[in-house]
Amino acid sequence: MSIEEKHDEDFTIFPNILDENLSSKKRKDLYRLPEWMSSLAKRFDSRQLQTETTISINQIDYLDEDIRSILINNLSIQYLFPVQSQVIPYLIQQNQSHSPIPLADICVSSPTGSGKTLAYVIPLLQCIRHRVIRAIRIIILLPVQDLAEQVYHVVNQIGNKLQLKTALLAGQQSFEDEQKILVKQQLNGSWTSSIDIIVCTPGRLVEHISRTSGFSLIHLRYLVIDEADRIIDEFKQDWLNILDNAVDLSSNLKNNFQPYMLSQSSLNRKIYQKLLFSATLTHNPEILQQLNLFHPILFSSSSSTSIIMPSTLRENFIICSITYKPLIIAYLIQNQLHSERIMIFVHSKKDVDRLSSLLKLLLPDNIKVSHISRKLPSKKIQTRLNMFEHGQIQILVCSDVLARGIDIPNIDCVILYDLPKNIRTYTHRIGRTARAGKLGRSITMVEKERLIMFRTTIKTYRRNKLKPMNIRKENFSFMLNDYQKALEIFSSQEQKKKLKQKK
């Protein structure tokens, strides 16, 4: 029996940008966005990802000819996406300006899978490629190791062709090996940089500033903060003060800039520009100002506080009992989703182990199931991701280790086994599918008693509406005996593990 879709009920996830404990007056004040986040923001339609509405690389005259060739021949990129066609020419034009006034910082809010990484990699590499002395001019900051590694490979693909050297500082190598890559000591005792671009995490950056002799940032021109909302949330901004000190720059110099300061010798130093990127960039200016932004300019795919998802994404939810959640997923995979490439998100490692074990017992042998969690060694994670990407694994059960930024091609469906705690988690989880203009689908499992919470706690304006899927018990009743056996086998396996641990 096929799954029916109801079309008579839509519901929208409402906004949660306000603290419930705020007074009504303060809530109203928060809605009074500054001009740079409202009337002066640069808007674009991120949903126009089809080739007939995007810009051909061959038609772009502001990119260097060899960079166009690299994009077409090495990266198989024929068109710029909307966020790229807005941000890239703006940054290149800024670089050509010889104004003594410091460059305005920029914030970019665009959906998952819309091409944000290349939106900064392409223009920044073009802007520094004609440097004479090798020195660190770009720092790209990511919140976690896996994302840093992914961005590093993108930068390296283009940078190598332009004779620009990139270093990854995120713990994949020992600290001592990273130091050897970064700097070299000359016979006269002076130090020279071996690197033009650093891709790193905040903690690793601070460690090198503190402990690596000859590590200099005085030539820094660009600081990219990717997944900016997560970096703001998870890291105290002490790293920024440490970075400013390393650049030999008081952050007050830039933020308190006045025209009369143009004649001051202190402004002869190059002041670096900050570039923030996120699919779920906060609209609270006070939070953004933790990063000491200078006359910021917002590029946004939305004209409000909405979070826009790709038009190619189909969003569904299923109201279900917690008792039957694994069984319903097994039923979906066999009877509705078939052999599609599916990623399933759960909250904890324990749930990852339980769900993946039950699915292996419930699904036929030709459907390969695997799992990923933070406790797995990075080599195993990468091996399983490669197998998933190449179709050797069809179902991948994982925790939020893969919820942000990781770009795995051709994921057909994302299932949220557990209800996300907030709109950002929801957005980044379902953002693993429908990337770069491709079709995708998300299905959220909602327990009956948490349906009201689903409507009220994820809370953000959404243009995309979610369609409920109706699965009745009679639909999967023929699988109940197998489900009971699977539960018994799993319980027995867990008991054996516990006995081994005691021994």
For residue 403, pLDDT over 70 is answered with no
CA 440 – CA 430 distance, rounded (Å): 9
For residue 10, pLDDT over 50 is answered with no
Question: What pLDDT was estimated at residue 284?
Answer: 78
May I ask the CATH architecture of the domain 25-258+272-300? 3-Layer(aba) Sandwich (3.40)
Span of 28-37, 318-327, 416-425 with lowest mean pLDDT = 28-37
pLDDT greater at residue 118 or residue 238: 118
CA 372 – CA 374 distance, rounded (Å): 7
Residue with tokens 């500082």: 169
Average pLDDT estimate for 486-496: 92
CA 260 – CA 9 distance, rounded (Å): 61
Q: Does residue 183 contact residue 214 with C-beta atoms inside 8 Å?
A: yes
For residue 489, pLDDT over 70 is answered with yes
Task: Please write the tens of the pLDDT for every residue from 185-222.
Answer: 999 989 999 999 999 999 999 999 999 999 999 999 99
Question: What pLDDT was estimated at residue 269?
Answer: 41
CA 120 – CA 141 distance, rounded (Å): 12
CA 295 to chain centroid: 25
CA 107 – CA 472 distance, rounded (Å): 46
CA 44 to chain centroid: 19
Q: Does residue 216 contact residue 133 with C-beta atoms inside 8 Å?
A: no
For residue 402, pLDDT over 70 is answered with no
* The one-letter amino acid at 154: V
Residues in the chain: 503
Q: Which residues pair with 409 in a beta bridge?
A: none
Q: Can 4-10+307-502 and 25-258+272-300 be said to share one CATH topology?
A: yes
Which residues neighbour 87 within 8 Å (Cβ) at sequence distance 6 or greater?
Answer: 106, 108, 119, 120, 123, 299
Residue with tokens 């600081």: 223
Tokens coding 203:
């903690």
Helices (H), 335-450: 349-362, 378-389, 423-430
CA distances from 425 to 183, 258, 429, 458 (A): 39, 40, 6, 9
Neighbours of 410 (CB within 10 A): 14
Task: Please write the tens of the pLDDT for every residue from 452-473.
Answer: 777 665 555 455 567 889 899 9
For residue 8, pLDDT over 60 is answered with no
Question: What pLDDT was estimated at residue 304?
Answer: 54
Average pLDDT estimate for 93-119: 88
- 369, with CB counted inside 10 A (0-12, 13-18, 19+), is buried
- Domain 4-10+307-502 indexed as CATH 3.30.1330.10: no
For residue 407, pLDDT over 70 is answered with yes
Q: Which residues pair with 166 in a beta bridge?
A: 197
Average pLDDT estimate for 370-398: 89
Q: Does residue 398 contact residue 343 with C-beta atoms inside 8 Å?
A: yes
Number of helices followed by number of strands (H, E) in the chain:
18, 20
For residue 486, pLDDT over 90 is answered with yes
Q: Does residue 226 contact residue 197 with C-beta atoms inside 8 Å?
A: no
CA 358 – CA 84 distance, rounded (Å): 43
For residue 34, pLDDT over 70 is answered with yes
Average pLDDT estimate for 395-424: 82
pLDDT greater at residue 168 or residue 301: 168
CA 431 – CA 413 distance, rounded (Å): 10
Q: Does residue 50 contact residue 437 with C-beta atoms inside 8 Å?
A: yes
Confidence band for 419, pLDDT divided at 50, 70 and 90 = confident
Work out the angle at residue 371's Cα, subtended by the Cα atoms of residues 369 and 376, and round it to the nearest 5 degrees.
150
Which residues neighbour 264 within 8 Å (Cβ) at sequence distance 6 or greater?
Answer: none
Q: What percent of the chain has pLDDT over 90?
A: 48
Average pLDDT estimate for 46-68: 76
Task: Please write the tens of the pLDDT for every residue from 302-353.
Answer: 655 556 677 788 888 999 999 999 999 999 999 988 767 999 999 888 899 9
Measured N-to-C along each axis, helices 116-128 and 82-96 cross at an angle, to the nearest 10 degrees, of 20
Confidence band for 48, pLDDT divided at 50, 70 and 90 = low
Average pLDDT estimate for 70-89: 92
Long-range contacts of 418-422 (CB under 8 A, 24+ apart): 418/345, 418/346, 418/347, 418/351, 418/445, 419/444, 419/445, 419/446, 419/447, 419/450, 419/453, 419/454, 420/444, 420/458, 421/457, 422/16, 422/457, 422/458, 422/459
Q: What percent of the chain has pLDDT over 70?
A: 81
Work out the angle at residue 72's Cα, subtended by the Cα atoms of residues 66 and 77, and round it to the nearest 5 degrees.
130
- Torsion over CA: 42, 44, 46, 49 (sign): negative
* The one-letter amino acid at 312: T
- Write down the mean pLDDT value for the chain: 82
Q: Does residue 277 contact residue 229 with C-beta atoms inside 8 Å?
A: no
Confidence band for 405, pLDDT divided at 50, 70 and 90 = low
Q: Report the Cα–Cα distance between both ends of the chain, in Å, rounded.
A: 48
For residue 253, pLDDT over 60 is answered with no
Q: Is 400 helix (H, G, I), strand (E, B) or coil?
A: helix
Task: Please write the tens of the pLDDT for every residue from 255-302.
Answer: 554 554 444 434 444 479 999 999 888 877 778 878 889 889 999 876
Tokens coding 382:
């990468």
Work out the angle at residue 242's Cα, subtended by the Cα atoms of residues 237 and 246, and round it to the nearest 5 degrees.
145
Domain residue ranges of the chain, discontinuous segments joined by +: 4-10+307-502, 25-258+272-300
Tokens coding 200:
């790193």
Neighbours of 25 (CB within 10 A): 7
